[in-house]
Chain A
């Protein structure tokens, strides 16, 4: 890693360098007469990206360039996403560390050794390039870290205020978060897992609840509208896998007996139930993953679709309707942020409860 690259990464991550430079490539500008494609716009907002596009100013995008970190055959390769000059069509080629890289539909491809430009097949898949392992700090990763900082600020401050007060009475922000924490403990942990075992799972439940909730909320803030972290399948998949691992590790003999040899039913039924239960074991985290992902993504899609109506009909007259409806949906989505965090947490707790339930 050269000093230059390191500096680049440092600048982009630590100082949030907003690049006002006029790198605008020809294609990213909406040209006169070009058909507005709502599907493309919505997908662009819902999906992850390698730069944090904030707004367009005089036809040029204003964005936060984020570091790109790749694991290629030549080892770790890093450079700033600003080197692509906002190109997303694979035309700008960045040469780094002995490799040629292009960005196409927010994916980084490494060109094969002898290729000079990227070629596509009929289905618009690059043919002479492959995808290296991509550890880039995308805007979702970036927003995730912002949310982690916010969470740490909130909860460490709250924890400190408990330590400061002599009688354990919360002050300031702790007074706000304590009811939420007590809610997670009394409405999710205790009833779902049980009075005696819930304590072990409380840190996980609390962390997952607040982590999902804050990222749901961040997804709704208009200027960060691209930060659709909890509407990204990779995020929900990771959390669901954590829940699955904890469930499986804390499963007692009673739990496994219910899966492989269901007590209390005749033997043919036991054999019939076994595959169903085994599938169910995996369906539970998969449904967790898809529920959160689809709920949040669907909310974003609806809000954006309502907004695109203005551009589809090309008239400002539709704007009041659009704005009113998307305001309505946004308010519903604010409720959904909390409900989905609650559902994910309570279902995780339910699965832990099932795994640790004693025979009775």
Chain B
């Protein structure tokens, strides 16, 4: 019975001591220790989160890089293609122009030849006419002594002229 009867003195001292201990430790031990521990945990958590963020950003960056690279490659290809097309077009254009020029020149030449020919022909005709007149004069002078012969000549000359 003695053993399980709380003694007032010990209850009193235990209460006082425990309250004292609780207050002191709460202020000077538990607060700083728990604070430091939770701060550290918080720090680790944020560090992990920021590492994760960095990793994600890196991934994004890499993806971006790849995309840009792809775009650049595509652009280069299109540029090359365009250049090739332009080249081909230029060549064909040049060819065409040259052809045209040539055709034009040929045409010019032909017209020139034609006109030269015409003028030559005209000149020839004139010349022939002149010659003919001269010849005719000579013949006429010779022939006019003879009347028959004159007529015959005129006749033949007319025929000749018609032929011409």
Q: Do the two chains touch directly in the complex (Cβ atoms below 8 Å apart)?
A: yes
Write the residues of chain A forming the contact surface with B, with a CB cutoff of 8 angstroms. 43, 46-48, 105, 133-138, 140-141, 144-145, 148, 151-152, 155-156, 158-159, 162-163, 167-170, 174, 177-178, 181-182, 185, 202-204, 206-207, 211, 232-235, 237-239, 242, 293, 297
Q: Main secondary structure on chain B at its contact with chain A?
A: helix
Interface Cβ pair total, 8 Å cutoff: 119
Q: Which of B8, B24, B36 touches A168 (beta carbons < 8 Å)?
A: B36
Q: Which of A43, A46, A48 touches B10 (beta carbons < 8 Å)?
A: A48
Beyond the given A162-B36, A163-B32, please list 5 additional residue pairs across the A-B interface where CB-CB is below 8 A. Answer: A47-B2, A168-B39, A174-B33, A203-B25, A234-B11
Q: Nearest Cβ distance between residue B99 and chain A, in whole angstroms?
A: 85
- Identify the closest chain B residue to A177 (Cβ): B33
A235 to B12, CA, bound (A): 9
Interface-facing stretch out of B13-21, B114-122, B145-153: B13-21
Considering the complex, which residues of chain B in the window 105-134 have a beta carbon less than 8 Å from any beta carbon of chain A?
Answer: none
Query: Across the interface, which residues of A come within 8 angstroms of B29, CB to CB?
Result: 155-156, 158-159
Query: Across the interface, which residues of A come within 8 angstroms of B4, CB to CB?
Result: 233, 293
Leading 5 A-B pairs by shortest Cβ distance: A234-B10, A155-B29, A203-B26, A234-B6, A238-B14
B40 within 8 A of A: yes
B7 within 8 A of A: yes
Query: Across the interface, which residues of B come within 8 angstroms of A293, CB to CB?
Result: 4
Q: Nearest Cβ distance between residue B40 and chain A, in whole angstroms?
A: 5
11 A-B pairs whose Cβ atoms sit less than 8 Å apart in the complex? A47-B2, A134-B8, A144-B14, A158-B33, A159-B33, A162-B36, A168-B40, A207-B30, A211-B18, A211-B21, A235-B14
A204 to B37, CA, bound (A): 18
Considering the complex, which residues of chain B in the window 48-107 have a beta carbon less than 8 Å from any beta carbon of chain A?
Answer: none
A209 to B50, CA, bound (A): 37
Question: Are A178 and B37 in contact, with the CB atoms below 8 A?
Answer: yes
Query: Across the interface, which residues of B come within 8 angstroms of A138, CB to CB?
Result: 9-10
Known: A47-B2, A168-B40. A155 touches B10 (CB 8 A): no
Query: Across the interface, which residues of B come within 8 angstroms of A182, CB to CB?
Result: 37
Q: Nearest Cβ distance between residue A84 and chain B, in whole angstroms?
A: 16
B164 within 8 A of A: no
B161 within 8 A of A: no
Question: Are B18 and A141 in contact, with the CB atoms below 8 A?
Answer: no
Query: Across the interface, which residues of B come within 8 angstroms of A233, CB to CB?
Result: 3-6
Query: Across the interface, which residues of A come within 8 angstroms of B24, CB to CB?
Result: 152
Question: Are A135 and B39 in contact, with the CB atoms below 8 A?
Answer: no
B22 within 8 A of A: yes
A43, A46, A141 pick with most chain B CB within 10 angstroms: A141
Query: Across the interface, which residues of B come within 8 angstroms of A144, CB to CB?
Result: 13-14, 17
- Identify the closest chain B residue to A174 (Cβ): B33
Question: Are B18 and A242 in contact, with the CB atoms below 8 A?
Answer: yes
Question: Are B13 and A207 in contact, with the CB atoms below 8 A?
Answer: no
Query: Across the interface, which residues of B come within 8 angstroms of A148, CB to CB?
Result: 17, 20-21
B163 within 8 A of A: no
Question: Are B14 and A207 in contact, with the CB atoms below 8 A?
Answer: no
A182 to B17, CA, bound (A): 25
- Identify the closest chain B residue to A152 (Cβ): B24
Q: Nearest Cβ distance between residue A50 and chain B, in whole angstroms?
A: 10
Query: Across the interface, which residues of B come within 8 angstroms of A152, CB to CB?
Result: 21, 24-25
Q: Nearest Cβ distance between residue B102 and chain A, in whole angstroms?
A: 89
Question: Are A203 and B33 in contact, with the CB atoms below 8 A?
Answer: no
A23 to B106, CA, bound (A): 154
Question: Are B15 and A238 in contact, with the CB atoms below 8 A?
Answer: yes
Query: Across the interface, which residues of A come within 8 angstroms of B9, CB to CB?
Result: 133-136, 138, 141, 234
Question: Are B3 and A207 in contact, with the CB atoms below 8 A?
Answer: no
Q: Which of A141, A151, A174, A297 touches B21 (beta carbons < 8 Å)?
A: A151
- Identify the closest chain B residue to A134 (Cβ): B9
Q: Nearest Cβ distance between residue B5 and chain A, in whole angstroms?
A: 7
